[in-house]
Amino acid sequence: MITEAILTVILGVPAWLLAQLPSISVPTFFSSGTGAGTVGGYVQGFAGYLGAMNNWFPFDQLGTALLFIVAAVGVTTAIKVARIVASFATLGGGSAA
């Protein structure tokens, strides 16, 4: 009963904080698709240029490698942050930094 009340309060805080933020609309150059002068149009054009040069350089494999690197760095950063936060629980007895 007490644990349930504590969890309700802890889980209610992020929802309350998010409810306090104003809602904003997405700018039209982001949400208007892939037309000229939009972010989607620029990305589509750049992807087309890279696709045309795929005969000389394997951009498909480069994209896969970069995705793997970003994922690996994200995982290691999350582990590092978790270790740093866990070191706070030792009340100064140890450091993960």
Do 65 and 39 lie in a common domain? Answer: no
32 occurs within a structural domain: yes
Do 49 and 80 lie in a common domain? Answer: no
Do 94 and 76 lie in a common domain? Answer: yes
Joined tokens for residue 21: 């933020």
10 occurs within a structural domain: no
Alpha-carbon distances of 76 from 8, 23, 39, rounded to whole Å? 31, 33, 31
Instruction: Quote the domain boundaries for residue 74.
Output: 58-97
Do 67 and 52 lie in a common domain? Answer: no
* Amino acid code (one letter) for 57: F
Asked if 86 contacts 78 with a C-beta cutoff of 8 angstroms, the reply is: no
Per-residue pLDDT of the chain (97 residues), as tens digits, is 788 888 888 878 878 887 887 777 766 666 666 666 677 778 778 877 777 777 787 777 887 888 899 999 999 999 998 888 887 776 656 555 5
2 occurs within a structural domain: no
Q: Residue 60 contacts by C-beta under 8 Å, 6 or more apart in sequence?
A: 54
